[in-house]
């Protein structure tokens, strides 16, 4: 459904005609993110300023339309895909960067590309720690909205640990700032709740991010194991030793083989799994830490240890890790990437179950795992034109969620809930828990203007039989 | 009140208790479970009673004064429920003390990176007050380690937010919302924390140049200044600690010993951007203080008459001056928080979403919320 001409011209009067796209082609191009769900877009707007965003929100409210924010559209859960008549608000033109080197912070627009920020601050010796594999394309606004992670979040935490303040436009069309460059601003942590809220509580128009010092020294190790158990035990023992590596990633054999064909990094294709470990810090410490990891790995049966000799080799190893998705294309035209988290100590048994699911359903599964924090990314390669394969992949997805939760885990560690996992939320939360989250959402956006039908399943606000609020009570 | 007292006593399956240092209340109780607290809060909502949650009392100096009908102590929710060292997670009751937790997890050289000098404080109180230890320069604030929170809302619902895993984006971040909420949204009954392994070597180095210390070390745990000088707290492998200590160049002491909280009747925390710490320190003359360089926190004993001036300067730079403890009269004169935050309307609606009848600590938060 397109919009009335009156509305299009109203939006054009806010952002300029060339920043409003209502043609069929544009509406189609923007109707999907990098996941599998397609929606319908009424009109696309590309504002440049927070005030424009506020005007767009007020216009949407006046016309009873929802507003769905979108960054680069690399999200995997349909988070930026409208599920009903909506204005799609694309932030890519909001790409201002203001660095405060002395405080190691920067105010950035939500449309700034993740990698661009760290490239811009490289000469100052500081960087933005969250490094999703999509970092060359995804926006910081999207990172904040999804509380995205990346391999280096093991030691540094996800996006939320690196956001000091957010400016956002409320459902009422007001521009407010939550948080501060000073620690612990008084009052409730509205900033903390905005991060990870997937566009459902407001539209983020500016972000104060923390930038951390680039490490003076780095050692990157690739360690091959004949079985998963030894690699998992290595992960546990390394962390128990008091060394928290900057990254501790695991790739399984099917993935190693696919990637090796693609990047030719001389990867150990006979290994059941490899660990990619990185230690960073003072020059005097990194070799000691690297040796410690190698010793622990050897004790657990590692049969090949490789330490990147220089920056080029390090980059090659990381390229191998981060190009998994490109590599899959050689195997099958489509892939379905999962994201669940389990307690780290359950890794071996859950991975074993994932292999069994794939075998039973005759699917190709490849695993890349943020092993240090138990974040699983099983990836099914398949051909979406084969309906049977699609059915099997979807059913396998549900099974993976079930086994993860049975192991004490959750639905998502970094990709978010969006539409994809919305209806699975009851698997981890009780009706009362979901009701509390729905109340929180209502406190921000009572009319559900902001990215409706994401995160919470329909009917989450089901506990309306609470105590009646007396007339004239406090709110 | 007698009827109410015995009804409430029955609801929580025990008799009234005495709490040292707590404000006068009609009744103080120590429930044994989240469910008992839920029954009690439901009752309080029905009868319009005001409720103050109480841990050790260590952080009750923050915020507006409360004149409660009922005080709910967490002292019977004081156990460590489950500690899985290999997952680096621990679940504990909100009444468990930092000392108890430390003594247990130190046996595997693990730490929850909580305030270093208040072993008597309860974990529920630390989370509710949102206070952090000095090592936040390296590890971030306490809120970054709260993985899961179980709490009872003002209208008596037992809610769990977050999960027992170290990385999670499943649903809204209730753990962060509850951190620093001072009991205004609910009474925290148990939490799951992320732990960190304690590095092999620890050392403290004296210096007189905090900026240089921050520049020549990589990710020190803390750089603290007191009237006695500046100390750099290093941790890591022995080789790394030794090399960094040499780079700083001052006298080296093995281990970490943390400064005491400033002595005085009226203590405030000045919160500014990291670069402004040096300025604040210069303005403090005969004061007892601890300043966290690189973080932006200066805890200082002041004369109450100084607060407004300090606050004006801090707020002009986007910071705040927050009263941590003071004689009663000070609260009558001075707002313990300062200018309310820009999101105050939103915060009012959030409070109402969790405590619709406003039975929990009304007036404790900024903006008299
Ligand atoms: C190849 C590939 C690799 C990936 N690797 C990782 C990885 O390693 N780690 C990881 O965590 N993720 C990864 N992702 C997922 C994705 O890249 C991240 O979720 C990313 O943060 C999304 O950013 P985006 O700009 O593309 O956001 P979009 O997809 O455009 O939007 C994502 C969500 O954010 C909301 N949103 C966007 N901008 C705003 C705003 N300004 N205000 C409010 N809400 C907003 C949207 O409504 C939507 O709900 C990967 C994706 C791909 C395709």
Q: Which residues of A247-259 are buried (b: 16+ CB within 10 A; e: fewer)?
A: bbbbbbbbbbbbb
Q: B150, B173, B197 — which closes off a domain?
A: B197
B146 and B178 part of one domain: yes
Q: pLDDT per residue over B67-77, tens digit each?
A: 999 999 999 99
Strands B289-292 and B267-271, sheet pairing: unpaired
Task: Determine the structural domain holding residue B225 and report its residue range.
Answer: 201-254
Q: Residue A424's closest CA among A80, A86, A23, A77?
A: A77
* Contacting residues of A for B179, CB less than 8 Å apart: 189, 192
> Looking at the domain assignment, is residue B346 inside a domain?
no
Q: Indicate whether A344 pLDDT > 80.
A: yes
Q: Residue A33's closest CA among A78, A69, A68, A66?
A: A78
Residue of A nearest to B138 (CA): A156
Selecting from 1.10.1040.10, 3.30.43.10, 3.30.70.2740, 3.40.50.2000, what CATH number does the domain A331-422 have?
3.30.70.2740
Pocket of ligand 1, beta carbon within 6 A: A 33-34, 68-76, 79-80, 91, 110, 132-134, 138-139, 141-143, 145-146, 148-150, 198-199, 203-204, 325, 414-415, 418, 451
Q: What's phi and psi for A349, nearest 5 deg?
A: -70, -35
Q: What's phi and psi for B290, nearest 5 deg?
A: -130, 125
Q: What is the DSSP letter of B163?
A: -
Nearest CB to A466; choose among B84, B320, B356: B356
Determine the pLDDT at residue A463.
55
* Contacting residues of B for A474, CB less than 8 Å apart: 352, 357-358
Q: Which amino acid residue places its CA nearest to atom 8 of ligand 1?
A: A132
What is the CATH code of the structural domain delimited by A5-90?
A: 3.30.43.10
Strand partners of residue B91: B82, B192
* Contacting residues of B for A467, CB less than 8 Å apart: 42, 45-46, 155, 356-357
Cβ of B239 under 8 Å from any chain A Cβ? yes
Q: Which among B153, B169, B299 is the top mutation candidate for probing chain A, defined by the most A β-carbons within 10 Å of its own β-carbon? A: B169
Q: B75, B107, B139 — which closes off a domain?
A: B75
B66 and B6 part of one domain: yes
Question: Residue B292: CB partners within 8 Å, gap ≥ 6?
Answer: B134, B136, B137, B222, B223, B224, B277, B298
Contact B343 A413 (CB under 8 A): no
* DSSP E strands, chain B: 27-29, 51-54, 70-73, 80-84, 89-93, 110-111, 146-153, 158-162, 186-194, 196-197, 201-207, 222-226, 229-236, 252-254, 267-271, 289-292, 297-301, 320-325
B97 and B139 part of one domain: yes
Q: Indicate whether A162 pLDDT > 70.
A: yes
B84 and B188 part of one domain: yes
> Looking at the domain assignment, is residue B355 inside a domain?
no
Identical fold at A217-325 and A331-422?
A: yes
B30 and B115 part of one domain: no
d(CA A363, CA A283): 45
On the CB side of B322, how many CA atoms lie within 13 Å of its CA?
31
Q: B75, B110, B128 — which closes off a domain?
A: B75
Looking at the structure, give the CATH architecture of the domain made up of residues A217-325.
2-Layer Sandwich (3.30)
* Helix, strand, or coil (residue B270): strand
Taking residues A398-423, report their average pLDDT: 97
Third-level CATH fold of A97-213: 3.30.465
B127 and B175 part of one domain: yes
Contact B346 A157 (CB under 8 A): no
Ligand 1 pocket test, pick from A77, A82, A131, A142 with the greatest ligand atom count within 8 Å of Cβ, gives A142
B11, B131 Cβ separation under 8 angstroms: no
Burial classification of residue A319, based on how many CB atoms lie within 10 Å of its CB (0-12 exposed, 13-18 middle, 19 or more buried): middle
d(CA A313, CA A306): 10
Q: Residue A182's closest CA among B313, B367, B285?
A: B313
Q: pLDDT per residue over B238-272, tens digit each?
A: 999 999 999 999 999 999 999 999 999 999 999 99
Domain ranges of chain A: 5-90, 97-213, 217-325, 331-422, 429-466
Question: What strands, in cross-sheet order, belong to the sheet with B70-73?
Answer: B27-29, B70-73, B51-54
d(CA A128, CA A135): 11
> Looking at the domain assignment, is residue B362 inside a domain?
no
Q: pLDDT per residue over A84-126, tens digit each?
A: 999 999 999 999 999 999 999 999 999 999 999 999 999 999 9
Ligand 1 pocket test, pick from A35, A38, A145, A456 with the greatest ligand atom count within 8 Å of Cβ, gives A145
Nearest CB to B271; choose among A183, A412, A435: A183
B36 and B145 part of one domain: no
> Looking at the domain assignment, is residue B168 inside a domain?
yes
Q: Which amino acid residue places its CA nearest to atom 5 of ligand 1?
A: A133
> Looking at the domain assignment, is residue B320 inside a domain?
yes
On the CB side of A359, how many CA atoms lie within 13 Å of its CA?
6
Q: How many distinct structural domains can be found in chain B?
A: 4
Taking residues B187-192, report their average pLDDT: 98
Question: Residue A453: CB partners within 8 Å, gap ≥ 6?
Answer: A83, A84, A419, A422
Nearest CB to B365; choose among A187, A408, A417: A187
Determine the pLDDT at residue A462.
67
Determine the pLDDT at residue A1.
46
Q: Which two structure tokens, joined as six digits, stand for A416?
A: 């978010």
B21, B67 Cβ separation under 8 angstroms: no
Q: Indicate whether B211 pLDDT > 70.
A: yes
Radius of gyration of chain A (CA): 23
Contact B169 A180 (CB under 8 A): no
ipTM of model over 0.95:
yes
Q: Indicate whether B11 pLDDT > 90.
A: no
> Looking at the domain assignment, is residue B361 inside a domain?
no
Question: Residue A458: CB partners within 8 Å, gap ≥ 6?
Answer: none
Q: Residue A103's closest CA among A215, A177, A213?
A: A213
Taking residues A190-194, report their average pLDDT: 98
CATH number of the domain residue B314 falls in:
3.30.70
Q: pLDDT per residue over A427-469, tens digit each?
A: 999 999 999 999 999 999 999 999 999 999 998 886 554 455 4
């Amino acid at each position: 459904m397109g919009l009335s001409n009156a509305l299009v011209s109203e939006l054009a009067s806010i952002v300029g005609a060339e920043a409003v796209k209502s043609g069929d082609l544009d509406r189609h191009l923007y109707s999907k993110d990098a996941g599998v769900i397609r929606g319908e877009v009424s009109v696309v707007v590309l504002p440049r300023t927070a005030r424009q965003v506020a005007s767009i929100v007020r216009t949407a409210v006046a016309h009873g339309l929802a507003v769905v924010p979108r960054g680069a559209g690399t999200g995997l859960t349909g988070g930026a895909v409208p599920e009903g008549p909506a204005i799609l608000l694309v932030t890519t033109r909001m790409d201002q960067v203001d660095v405060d080197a002395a405080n190691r912070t920067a105010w950035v627009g939500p449309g700034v590309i993740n990698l661009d920020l760290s490239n811009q601050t490289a000469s100052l010796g500081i960087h933005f720690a969250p490094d999703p594999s999509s970092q060359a394309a995804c926006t910081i606004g999207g990172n904040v909205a999804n509380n995205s992670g990346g391999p280096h979040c093991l030691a540094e935490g996800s996006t939320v640990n690196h956001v000091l303040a957010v400016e956002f436009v409320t459902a009422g069309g007001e521009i407010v700032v939550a948080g501060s460059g000073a620690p612990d601003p008084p009052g409730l942590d509205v900033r903390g709740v905005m991060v990870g809220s997937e566009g459902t509580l407001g539209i983020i128009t500016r972000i104060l991010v923390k930038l951390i010092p680039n490490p003076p020294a780095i050692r990157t190790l690739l360690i091959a194991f004949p079985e998963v158990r030894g690699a998992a035990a290595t992960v546990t023992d390394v962390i128990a030793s008091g060394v928290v590596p900057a990254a501790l990633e695991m790739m399984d054999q099917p993935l190693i083989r696919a990637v090796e064909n693609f990047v030719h990094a001389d990867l150990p294709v006979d290994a059941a799994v490899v660990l990619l470990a990185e230690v960073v810090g003072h020059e005097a410490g990194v070799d000691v830490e690297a040796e410690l990891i190698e010793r622990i790995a050897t004790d657990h049966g590692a049969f090949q240890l490789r330490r990147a000799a220089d920056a080029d080799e390090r980059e090659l190893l990381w390229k191998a890790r981060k190009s998994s998705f490109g590599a899959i294309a050689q195997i099958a035209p489509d892939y379905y990437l999962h994201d669940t988290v389990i307690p780290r100590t359950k890794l071996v048994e859950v991975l074993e179950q994932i292999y069994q699911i794939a075998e039973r359903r005759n699917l190709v599964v490849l695993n890349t795992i943020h092993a240090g924090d138990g974040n699983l990314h099983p990836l099914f390669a398949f051909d979406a034109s084969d309906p049977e394969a699609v059915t099997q992949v979807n059913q396998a997805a549900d099974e993976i969620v079930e086994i993860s939760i049975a192991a004490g885990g959750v639905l998502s560690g970094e990709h978010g809930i969006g539409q994809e996992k919305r209806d699975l939320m009851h698997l981890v939360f009780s009706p009362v828990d979901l009701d509390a989250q729905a109340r929180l959402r209502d406190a921000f956006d009572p009319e559900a203007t902001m990215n409706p039908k994401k995160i919470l399943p329909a009917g989450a606000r089901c506990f309306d039989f609470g105590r009646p609020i007396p007339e004239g009570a406090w709110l | 009140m007698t009827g109410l007292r015995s009804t409430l006593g029955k609801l929580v399956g025990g008799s009234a208790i005495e709490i040292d240092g707590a404000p006068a209340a009609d009744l103080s109780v120590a429930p044994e479970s989240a469910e008992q607290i839920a029954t009690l809060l439901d009752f309080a909502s029905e009868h319009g009673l005001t409720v103050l949650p109480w841990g050790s009392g260590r952080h009750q100096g923050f915020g507006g004064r409360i004149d409660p009908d009922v005080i709910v102590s967490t002292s019977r929710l004081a156990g460590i429920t489950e500690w899985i060292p290999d997952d680096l997670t621990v679940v504990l009751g909100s009444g468990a003390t930092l000392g108890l937790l430390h003594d247990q997890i130190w046996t595997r050289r693990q730490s929850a990176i909580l305030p270093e000098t208040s072993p008597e404080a309860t974990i529920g109180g630390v989370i509710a007050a949102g206070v952090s230890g000095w090592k936040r320069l390296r590890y971030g604030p306490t809120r970054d380690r709260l993985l899961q929170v179980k709490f009872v809302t003002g209208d008596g619902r037992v809610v769990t937010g977050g999960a027992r895993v170290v990385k999670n984006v499943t649903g809204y971040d209730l753990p962060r919302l509850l951190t620093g909420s001072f009991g205004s949204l609910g009474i925290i009954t148990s939490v799951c924390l992320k732990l960190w392994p304690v590095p092999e070597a620890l050392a403290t180095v004296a210096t007189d140049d905090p900026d240089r210390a921050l520049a020549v070390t990589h990710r020190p745990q803390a750089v603290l200044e007191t009237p006695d000088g500046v100390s750099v707290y290093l941790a890591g492998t022995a080789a790394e600690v030794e090399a960094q200590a040499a780079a700083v160049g001052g006298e080296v002491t093995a281990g970490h010993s943390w400064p005491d909280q400033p002595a005085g009747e009226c203590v405030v925390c000045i919160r500014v951007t990291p670069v402004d710490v040096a300025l604040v320190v210069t303005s403090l003359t005969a004061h007892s203080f601890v300043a966290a360089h690189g973080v932006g926190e200066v805890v200082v004993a002041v004369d109450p008459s100084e607060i407004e001036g300090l606050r004006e300067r801090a707020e002009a730079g986007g910071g705040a001056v927050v009263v941590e403890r003071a004689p009663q009269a000070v609260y009558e004169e001075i707002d313990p928080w300062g200018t309310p935050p820009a999101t105050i309307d939103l915060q009012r609606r959030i409070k109402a979403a969790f405590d619709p009848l406003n039975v929990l600590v009304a007036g404790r938060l900024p903006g008299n919320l």
